[in-house]
Amino acid sequence: MTRPHLLLGIDIGGTKTSVCLGGRDGAIHAARRLPTDPRRGPDDWLARVRHLADQVLAKAGRTLSDVDAVGLSCPGPMSVARGMMLGPCNLPGWDAVPAVDMLRGAFQRPTFINNDANAAALAEYLYGSRRGTPNLVYLTMSTGVGGGVVVDGRLVQGACDMAGEVGHFVLDPAGPPCLCGLRGCFEAFCGGLSVARRLQERIVRERRRTAILDEAGGDPERIDFRAILAAVRRDDPLALEEWDAFVERLAQGIGIVIMTLNPQAIVLGTIAIHAGDRLLGPVRERLPKYAWKTAIEACEIVPSALGEKIADLAALAVARTGVDEDAGRR
């Protein structure tokens, strides 16, 4: 009987960690989550992940001997060459964590790492609606703006694994401060957290009556991008004003991506999935101000079709790509 070729995927974020078992084709056989709780430290996290992986394997009726490799999708900054997490802002105190060595020791399997945006780009390339598109860009479009770039069928890492960090190119040096320390970053204008915080401050400062506040249950601190989008759909004046500015900056950022990389497809994450044509139509209308017609026409701009599975698929994609690249070097 032939041994199944399975992959173990681990996706770590500031609040939760997901462990899944899947095939090279992206079929997920079992998955579970646990709170990351970064304050307890990497060693405690590793022990809990190992225990959770045992549960995932048991749920799928498999054992660790069926697993070919482990893939870790994690927030940046990180180093693929060193196999380390280098102090992600949402994992305070996790400085120079040798994640690959830790997981390889725990599972005794080849282990590979990449940042979450790059991993998601790999997932889109391998499993998404535009799978196999040789020149593809993925933009996270969630709390922040991250990116992953596939050129000629290969993920672009860059000199220090920072290729694709499109969220932190500067659209306006006099713009709002970004959490990264720069001003006027793409993320500062279009990241869900940055947009929500600006509106929170404005609503309190101006004592505005707005459907945004209604959608947040009357509490400014609970304003998030979902509340903003719901208010846009209600044609709330303040929400529409902010939405117009958001769309303009998004078109500007995407225009730069198009002119720099000339991709065949740009796949957008969470915000675009929820907003649909309310976002994509206006962005396409404004793109001619920021990119050439020929390059725009060559590029599809679509929301991700992977939905909530993208984090698990991203980790599986890291494992699959690592195995394939190792095999190619032999």
Concatenating the DSSP letter of every residue in 275-296 gives HTHHHHHHHHHHGGGTS-HHHH
Q: What is the pLDDT of residue 63?
A: 94
pLDDT on residue 329: 74
Q: What is the pLDDT of residue 97?
A: 96
- Domain 6-115+309-329, CATH class in plain words: alpha beta
Return d(Cα 16, Cα 28) in angstroms, integer.
Answer: 18
Segment (H or E) for 147:
strand 147-151
Does the pLDDT of residue 1 top 60, yes or no?
no
Assigned fold of 129-305: Nucleotidyltransferase; domain 5 (3.30.420)
Under 8 Å between Cβ of 7 and 21: yes
- Tell me the two tokens of residue 38: 């970064």
How, if at all, do strands 265-268 and 136-139 pair? Answer: parallel
Reported as half-sphere exposure (CB side, CA atoms, 13 A), residue 287 has a value of 24
- pLDDT attached to residue 328: 73
Would you say the CATH fold of 129-305 matches that of 6-115+309-329? yes
Residues constituting the chain: 330
Output the pLDDT for position 272: 92
Residue boundaries of the structural domains of the chain: 6-115+309-329, 129-305
Read off the pLDDT of residues 222-261 as tens digits, 9 standing for 90 and up.
Answer: 999 999 999 999 999 999 999 999 999 999 999 999 999 9
Residue-wise over 45-66: b if at least 16 C-beta within 10 A, else e? Answer: bbebbeebbeebbeebebeeeb
Q: Please state the rounded mean pLDDT for residues 255-282.
A: 95
Instruction: Answer yes or no: is pLDDT of 137 > 80.
Output: yes
**Mean pLDDT across the chain:** 94
DSSP string, 166-198: GGGSBS-TTS-B-TTS-BSBHHHHH-HHHHHHH
Query: What would you report as the CA-atom Rg of the chain, rounded to the nearest whole angstrom?
Result: 20
Candidates 39, 37, 30, 29; CA nearest to 12 is 37
Report the C-alpha gap between 250 and 243 in whole angstroms: 10
Edge-to-edge strands, sheet with 67-74? 28-35, 16-23, 6-12, 67-74, 111-115
- Tokens read off for 300: 């599809």
pTM of the model: 0.92
Average pLDDT over residues 9-31: 95
Q: How confident is the model at residue 302 (pLDDT cuts 50, 70, 90)?
A: very high
In the predicted structure, residue 195 carries a pLDDT above the cut 70: yes
Rounded mean pLDDT, 190-198: 92
Residue 19's alpha-carbon distances to 10, 22, 136, 151, in angstroms, are: 5, 10, 26, 29
Mean pLDDT of 267-282: 93
Residue 270, SS3 per DSSP: helix
What pLDDT was estimated at residue 61? 95
In this prediction, residues 190-201 reach a mean pLDDT of: 93
Q: How far apart are CA 276 and CA 56, in angstroms?
A: 34
